[in-house]
Amino acid sequence: MRMQHEAERTYEIPARFHLPDLAEVPGVAAVDKPVERRLSATYYDTPQLRLASHRVTLRRRTGGADAGWRVKRDASETRLPLGRKEDAVPAELLDAVRALSRGDALRPVARVRTRRVEHPLRGRDGRIVALIAEDEMISEAVGDKAILQRWRELEVELVDGRSGLLDRIEHALRGAGATRSGRRSKLVHALAERLPAAPLPTGARGRAERALAGYVEAQRDALIANDPGVRNGDPDAVHDMRVAVRRLRSTLRTFRPALDAARTEPLRAELAWLGRLLGAVRDADVLAGKLHDAVEAEPPELIVGPVAERIEEYLAARTVPARAELIEALNGRRYTALLDDLDAVVATPVRLTGSRLRRLVRRAVRRADTRLAAADRPKPTTPPGVDLLHDARKSCKQARYAVEVLQPTDGRQAVRLADRLGRLQDVLGAHHDATVLAALLREVGAQAQLDGESAFTYGVLHARLQQDDQRAMSADLPGARRRATTRKVRRVLS
């Protein structure tokens, strides 16, 4: 997968458009002779055009340097060679869009044939800095009744030139009559009225309703966007999808009075299921990294036995089956149903006033305050084994996510409180991680001893971990808590 910065722009051109002398553009020394190419692209989608509705294109192109299969999203793309089977979408690309296709068959929905005339632009050192492509296209939207269209456009692609060159080329093209295209892609043009209508404009809702609905939709989109990376084993994608799941669960709980509980409560349970699967993979990765760093930080003379290797094997024994279970779930009907239910929640109108929104956010923040106070003064009736600081951490996280919903309406004030709550959450999270790591070290050390190895290093690591945790809690928690509860930073809740 390759991340994309702005490297190309598309323009609409009039019938009698003539390309200006681009050798006069600063940064361009010469324009090569034009080269004509014939391209043919077939676009695949579900019958409901789910991919196109989410600005995702799956394309097979023949002809030109860009031949092959491609899945393109807003910020990334995946490419594969053409292969032998013309109409069989490669399995890797099926996985890349499965969160959108929901397992439905992908069929050709449009074909675009292009006569392209390319004009390479070279810099003073002879390198190609940009490529201008004049395209004449004929498209056919596949369906009960074919829709045929013909149009022209101009593409400018940056090759070895700097980003400012795009602006200078655009200035010259505008002077010749070109205008920046408002179309998102050739597919959108080809589909014409077959593309599902966009949702009603958010301006039809109140500010509070837009804020909550937009937050839920953004987390849904983040979950779907990270699905391909999770399938490919990207740890960052696992983390980001898990965060999106947590935000969704927390938001559906905090704002339950403003939502359809009959729909959102079952969804929260399903999100909890998905979150546990993601957590089993993510937690093992995080623990492995932290313990590796802890072992590396110790003097060599305190490392007795194959400590790093045993820890790695112990966690790998958890991670491998957890990852397999996660992928199996992502390919299953339960996950598909979860995504369908999430879409339904996103599409359901929210009924919420600004005062009620703020009241629900305030309640979530006060719940976190209460849990922190309970951790300060545990009652004699507190059940043994209950980690009150862990409960406080979860409440701080829910409060932070609730405050994030206020950001479109309250701007910097909401951002500042969310940041302060996030810092408090991080301090409590570090304590929780230390507790989990300590338990794991006891387990691995005990097993090492049973296998005839020394448990000395595990005891050293355990003691060091406990000392560092106590020191961090004493030094960091009071300040983080104070900064998250000042009257000035809480003013946004008034």
- Per residue in 126-161, pLDDT tens? 999 999 999 999 999 987 777 888 989 999 999 998
The confidence score (pLDDT) of residue 3 equals 39
Phi/psi at 79 (5° precision): -120, 145
- Cβ contact 420:484 at 8 Å: yes
Tokens 């490529």 correspond to what residue?
Answer: 131
Secondary structure (3-state) at 377: coil
The confidence score (pLDDT) of residue 163 equals 81
- Cβ contact 274:230 at 8 Å: no
- If you average pLDDT over residues 196-216, what whole number do you get? 74
The confidence score (pLDDT) of residue 64 equals 80
Q: What is the pLDDT of residues 94-125, one digit of tens each?
A: 999 999 999 899 999 999 999 999 999 999 99
Share of the chain above pLDDT 90, in %: 72
- If you average pLDDT over residues 424-450, what whole number do you get? 92
The confidence score (pLDDT) of residue 184 equals 63
- If you average pLDDT over residues 438-465, what whole number do you get? 93
What is the spatial distance between Cα 116 and Cα 207, in angstroms, rounded to a whole number? 46
What is the spatial distance between Cα 422 and Cα 67, in angstroms, rounded to a whole number? 46
Q: Which of 345, 348, 352, 346 has its CA nearest to residue 206?
A: 352
Residue 160's alpha-carbon distances to 65, 72, 120, 163, 166, in angstroms, are 16, 22, 11, 9, 12
Tokens 């599409």 correspond to what residue?
Answer: 347
Q: Which domains does the chain have, with CATH numbers?
A: 2-194 (2.40.320.10), 203-493 (1.40.20.10)
Q: What is the pLDDT of residues 339-385, one digit of tens each?
A: 999 999 998 888 899 999 999 999 999 999 999 999 888 777 666 55
The confidence score (pLDDT) of residue 362 equals 95
The confidence score (pLDDT) of residue 167 equals 94
pLDDT at 6 exceeding the cut of 80? no
Kind plus residue range of the DSSP H or E element containing 168: helix 164-175
What is the spatial distance between Cα 166 and Cα 183, in angstroms, rounded to a whole number? 18
Helices (H), 192-349: 207-231, 235-254, 261-297, 307-330, 333-347
pLDDT at 186 exceeding the cut of 90? no
What integer best gives the mean pLDDT of the chain?
Answer: 90
Instruction: Give the pLDDT band (50/70/90) at residue 204.
Output: very low
The confidence score (pLDDT) of residue 421 equals 96
Choose between 84 and 467: higher pLDDT.
467
- If you average pLDDT over residues 23-47, what whole number do you get? 94
Contacts of 204 (CB under 8 A, 6+ apart): none
Buried-state track 463-489, b at ≥16 Cβ within 10 A, e below 16: eebeeebeeebeebbeebbeebbeeeb
Most distant pair of Cα atoms in the chain: their distance: 86
pLDDT at 57 exceeding the cut of 50? yes
- Cβ contact 77:4 at 8 Å: yes
Q: Which of 226, 212, 23 has its CA nearest to residue 129?
A: 23
What is the spatial distance between Cα 240 and Cα 242, in angstroms, rounded to a whole number? 5
Q: Which two tokens stand for residue 213?
A: 């609905």
Kindly give the pairing relationship between strand 128-141 and strand 107-122. Answer: antiparallel
